[in-house]
Structure 1
Amino acid sequence: MAQHNDLGFKGEAIAKVYLEKLGYEILDENWVHGKAEIDLIAYQDKKIIFVEVKTRTSIAFGLPEDFVSNAKQKQMDLAANEYIEIMNHQGEIRFDIISVLFDKQNNYTIKHIEDAFWPS
């Protein structure tokens, strides 16, 4: 498996534990609909939260959260709509980004951006 995939899975595992410690219930991981994948789907306070996790080892090309493109947001929106329909969810939803940034000593920082975007 490619090294960047390993890094991505590591970041997703860290993000999952982080959310669970905050009291979120994880409903699904790596949920796929068509071409879209949602890294984590969480639930808290009657709200479904669709989470994109971005993991990097450097900010040389930008912050991890900068890599959630408009196209990715639209794909997440399509997948989220399908998930909402399947789950018959009548409440609120939210799109979050969690960035995980590793340093050279393999320490990491987490940045959780709630309501990071709302696809149009």
Structure 2
Amino acid sequence: MGKHNEFGKLGEQIAVDFLQKKGYEICFRNYRYLKAEVDVIAKIGETLVVVEVKTRTSDFLEDMQSVISPKKIKLLTLAADQYVQEHDLDIEVRFDVIIVIKKIEGFEVEHLENAFYHF
């Protein structure tokens, strides 16, 4: 596995740990549907949360379009719909982005709830 993949997987684990500490139940990691991959599917209360994790090596500002493209949003939406159908769920779905930033002193986690809407 390349260093880039290892770094991304580390970021995903940090995001999962972060969510669990906030009371989220992790339902699935790396869910795949067609060309889509959802990093984390979690549940909090009566809401299913589809999470895209971005891991960065420095603290720099990005607008949302550079963090997650319209194409990626479409793929995440399709995958979330498939997951809900597969599991016969009748539940509210929310899309979040977690950005994990590596800093000298460790990692910083930024959680963007309702990062985008699926319609």
TM-score (norm 2): 0.92
Contact 1:64 1:100 in 2 (8 A): no
- Give the CA RMSD over aligned residues: 1.6
Q: Tell me the distance in 2 between the aligned counterparts of 1:106 and 1:74.
A: 36
CA deviation vs aligned residue, 1:80-104 (integer Å, no higher than 9, x gap) = 000010111112010000000002x
Q: Deviations over 1:6-42 (max 9, x none)?
A: 1110000000000001110000000001110000000
State the Cα distance separating 1:63 from its structure 2 match.
3.6
Secondary structure of the corresponding residue to residue 83 of structure 1 = helix
Identity of aligned residues (%): 39
Residue pair 1:56, 1:64 contacting (<8 A) in 2 also: no
* Equivalent position of 2:36 in the other structure: 36
Return the alpha-carbon distance in structure 2 between the equivalents of residues 76 and 119 of structure 1: 9
Give the count of matched residue pairs: 118
Q: Which amino acid aligns with 1:112?
A: H
Paired AA for residue 27 in structure 2:
L
Distance 2:70 2:99 in 1: 17
Once the 2 structures are TM-superposed, how far is the Cα of residue 59 of structure 1 from its aligned partner?
A: 4.4
The alpha carbon displacement at 1:119 in A equals 2.7
